[in-house]
Structure 1
Amino acid sequence: MLKRFGFFEESSPRVALQDLRELQMMGPLDEEDQVLQYLSEGTMLFEAGGSAYDRFTDGSLPIGPPDVYSDGEWCWSGDVIYYIRNYHIAVESQFFDWMMKHNWKCPRIVSAEALVQSNWQT
């Protein structure tokens, strides 16, 4: 099963904001640029049909689609990049350690369809 990070759109606005504020208190990371690069290199698993909204504002500012990306071990929502870049949130320590272990180079997924079928419950 893929480990998940940053699916703030799945939570209620209040819970998502609380989670984001906790991550913001842990950041900014010295390695923020490396984290952003890693996340940007992920393989898209799902393309979202709608848009995510900034949870730090009143929820009316669209920030782009919450597409789902992966490195084969972790998956994350595309809006995570926005929150790191604009609010300097940290990532979970296990995910951070995983990225560092891979020298900040996101592994390429050969078959996103196979990964989805074996790991994602719909």
Structure 2
Amino acid sequence: MATALVLNTAPAPGTDRRSPVAAAGCSGTDSDFNGDGVRDVAIADPEATVSGIERAGLVHIVYGGGKGVLELSQETPNISDGAERDDQFGFSIAVYDANLDGCSDIAVGIPYEDVGTVKDAGLVHLVYGSPAGLGQGAVASVGLRQGSDGKLAGGYEAEDPGTPPRGQSIRIDPKVGLVTVKDLGFFKEFPHGDAKGPSLLECAAKGDPRIQGSISKYLEGGSMLATTAQRVFDVLSEEKQDAGPLAIMTDGEWMWPADLAYYVRRYNISLPEDFITHARSLDWVAPSLTSADLLLIEAEMFPE
């Protein structure tokens, strides 16, 4: 079954569920860290050198409307800890309004942060927006890790990164927290696939024919997360038959290339059992996602 990495099942620190009204000076505009009503841009650079420290990582913040720029890192005032070699601050980022005050906040993954004596235990920094900018409010930021006092379930372990491994991305729901969205069917034979992904040839003709149609229908019924004007073609056929648009679909728990349905239908491709269990539990009908749901996932996959 698909698993979820829950950042905080209660409201994020600083949130008052009884008062969803935007704070004074916060516009409620998406991706607006300083609340002026103009969208801002966050650009992650986890390989960046910070204060002479290689691959410490940072996130470039460009405030809209010519309001200036900020290099957000663990050397930034009001951000806990300090920059360290190979931490890769900014390996994953996502933007949402964690405390529902109308100013956007940013969650920054630091997968190789050491916690105490535990190497690469990982950490997530949640930096709050405010009318004065990121990290300038009454509550500037909070570091989240696994452990009884770290607001993440489980205990931290060596090489237990605070962001999902490559092959997964993060979506953020203000009511739930951080949730991993698993990759599905990005086969290494695809031009748009993962070079380290599973083999399409090895999965062909190995699916359960009794549910082949149901799986294909489920995949076709997902919500379109991203699309292009390009078409993709059958990599297993000499005729190079049209397999569909170059696009990415999602159900909020998994994401897959749009042409995956074609390969399941034509070649009975086997897929991971936890995905099959997930789709079966929904009676083979992919849930409809709202624009807000898709924007949250997109914020992690395609940071501006």
On whether the aligned pair clears a TM of 0.5, the verdict is yes
| Structure 2 counterpart of 1:93, one-letter code | E
Structure-to-structure mapping, 1:23-62, within 5 angstroms: 23-58=203-238, 60-62=240-242
| Structure 2 counterpart of 1:57, one-letter code | S
- Tell me the TM-score normalised to structure 2 length: 0.35
Aligned to 2:182: 3
Instruction: Give, in angstroms, the shift of residue 28 of structure 1.
Output: 4.2
Residues in 2 aligned to 1:39 and 1:12: alpha-carbon distance in whole angstroms = 19
| 8 Å Cα contact 1:45/1:69 also seen in 2 | yes
Residues in 2 aligned to 1:68 and 1:101: alpha-carbon distance in whole angstroms = 22
* Greater shift in the superposed pair: 54-63 or 43-52: 54-63
Instruction: Give, in angstroms, the shift of residue 114 of structure 1.
Output: 2.2
2:248 pairs with 1:68: yes
Instruction: Give, in angstroms, the shift of residue 58 of structure 1.
Output: 3.9
| Structure 1 counterpart of 2:185, one-letter code | G
Instruction: Give, in angstroms, the shift of residue 115 of structure 1.
Output: 2.2
Aligned to 2:297: 115
Other structure's SS at 1:45 match? strand
CA RMSD of aligned residues (A): 2.5
Other structure's SS at 2:230 match? coil
4+ runs deviating over 3 angstroms:
58-62
| 8 Å Cα contact 2:216/2:262 also seen in 1 | no
Higher helix share: 1
Residues in 2 aligned to 1:105 and 1:114: alpha-carbon distance in whole angstroms = 22
| 8 Å Cα contact 1:51/1:62 also seen in 2 | yes
| 1:45 to 1:26, Cα distance in 2 relative to 1, 3 A | same
Q: Larger C-alpha radius of gyration, 1 or 2?
A: 2
* Greater shift in the superposed pair: 95-104 or 69-78: 95-104
| 1:58 to 1:121, Cα distance in 2 relative to 1, 3 A | same
Residues in 2 aligned to 1:68 and 1:11: alpha-carbon distance in whole angstroms = 11
Residues in 1 aligned to 2:286 and 2:194: alpha-carbon distance in whole angstroms = 30
| 1:55 to 1:99, Cα distance in 2 relative to 1, 3 A | same
Residues in 2 aligned to 1:22 and 1:5: alpha-carbon distance in whole angstroms = 15
Other structure's SS at 1:66 match? strand
